[in-house]
Structure 1
Amino acid sequence: MSGPGHGHGHGQCQCEGHLDPAERGLEYGLFRKIDQERLECLNEFVESDDDEELLFNIPFTGNVKLKGIIIIGDDDDTHPSEMKLYKNIPHMSFDDTGREPDQVFQLSRDLTGEVEYTTKIARFSNVHHLSIHITKNFGAETSKIYYVGLRGEWSEGHRHEVTLCTYEASANPMDHKVDLITPQTHFIA
């Protein structure tokens, strides 16, 4: 028997912390906030070419507070076993992967998207570009990824426009025409 506010109807659990698949998909809604025209995956999407490495360059249309990632792969050795995250390095290449990553995860085989890798939110609170480097898998020559889910909060990016200003270190009264000099007008020389 279920208590007040705890109802199961037609196979859907309404419990706190348990979401049906449709609601769980909404949590990973950052897909709509990716700048699709600038999205890059080096070494082909889904399956790598000659080795196990994959590199995804994911630009966002605003700023993201990245909270979690899920990686769905196959139940074999092509499933990724290590993932490194880098923030705000647009057009990252394999030559740049020697940099210190912002976070590293050892991955488990996940066929259904049940395992979420929680990011260090303080480190990933102002992300406009995310690079995901899959460094290795469970032993196959190539890596396969079926789905990458990104969970977080999106906010509109702030444009920083350049403003040109000229400042005077000290004002020169001769540069400023004064039509009327009154006793209250004082010049500091």
Structure 2
Amino acid sequence: MPHNHHDGHCGHESNENDHDHDHGTSDLGPNDNLFPHIDRANVVALNATREGSVVVKPWDQRNNEESFLESDADDQLILRIPFTGSVRLRSLLLKTGPGDQTPMKVALFSNQPSMDFNDVSDKAPVQEFDIPQDRNVAEYSVKTAKFNNVSSLTLFFPASQGAETTRIYYVGLLGHWTERKTDPVITVYETQANLADHEKIQGTDGNFSTTQS
């Protein structure tokens, strides 16, 4: 849709890097967009009026305001995002608001797949960002070295900027994905067990029996 292309480029004119980053990618978005590698069926939102997956959208839907996530009982919100592999995170993309429904800030926790509101006060976030009131998609660059081997990312929004509820339209993630290699771990254990068995057999036949006799 030409209208969306136009909007996308206008929204990024002010940031040269972003514009270059998107250039020529059309509605597919940046080639390091992690959307295809998010386990969307298992995205969980706590204290939310809808399922968390509604805000994990493809790049071409980032400005769509028809579906959004809103906090329920108060203005706190937790979003847990699991990946289908291991991720080296580079940036968080957020579209929030409007106005006072914009979160004050977002706190990022890595590899805390079952984190809830009881846990957030006990654990220090890996990184956190203040969120300005802006209806455009904003990019928050993380300290990549601290998000190097991420299997799940938890976003905690502790408060709105004055409204009774917090609202989020879009959550996107940029970075590098690699397949989670589970098989080699199993193989290593099997190999260790087998080696122990062999040592025992060799010991009985060799040195072990001579020391006993």
Q: Give the shorter-chain TM-score range.
A: 0.7 to 0.9
Contact 2:75–2:164 under 8 Å retained in 1? yes
2:120 alignment counterpart? 97
- Percentage identity across aligned positions? 33
* Cα distance in 1, alignment partners of residues 152 and 140 from structure 2: 18
Match of 2:171, SS state, is: strand
Match of 2:29, SS state, is: helix
Give the 5 Å matches for 1:102-181. 102-113=126-137, 115-159=138-182, 160-161=185-186, 162-163=189-190, 165=193, 167=196, 175-176=204-205
Residues matched between the structures, number: 169
- Select the structure that is richer in helix: 2
* Cα distance in 2, alignment partners of residues 73 and 174 from structure 1: 67
- Out of 88, 91, 108, the position equivalent to 2:111 is 88
Q: Report the Cα offset of residue 22 of structure 1.
A: 3.0
Structure 2: which 5+ residue stretches go unaligned? 1-5, 51-68
Give the 5 Å matches for 1:49-88. 49-88=72-111
1:30 alignment counterpart? 34
Q: Report the Cα offset of residue 87 of structure 1.
A: 0.4
Report which of the two structures shows the higher radius of gyration computed on alpha carbons: 1
* Cα distance in 2, alignment partners of residues 52 and 118 from structure 1: 25
- Select the structure that is richer in strand: 1
Deviation sequence 1:40-98 (CA, Å, 0-9, x none): 11112410002111101111000111111121112310011210000001121111101
* Cα distance in 2, alignment partners of residues 126 and 173 from structure 1: 40
Matched AA of 2:168: I
TM-score normalized by structure 1?
0.77
Contact 2:103–2:167 under 8 Å retained in 1? yes
TM-score normalized by structure 2?
0.69
Match of 1:116, SS state, is: strand
Deviation sequence 1:89-145 (CA, Å, 0-9, x none): 1121111101111111111123121x2111010000110010000111211110000
* Cα distance in 2, alignment partners of residues 72 and 173 from structure 1: 65
Q: Report the Cα offset of residue 154 of structure 1.
A: 0.6
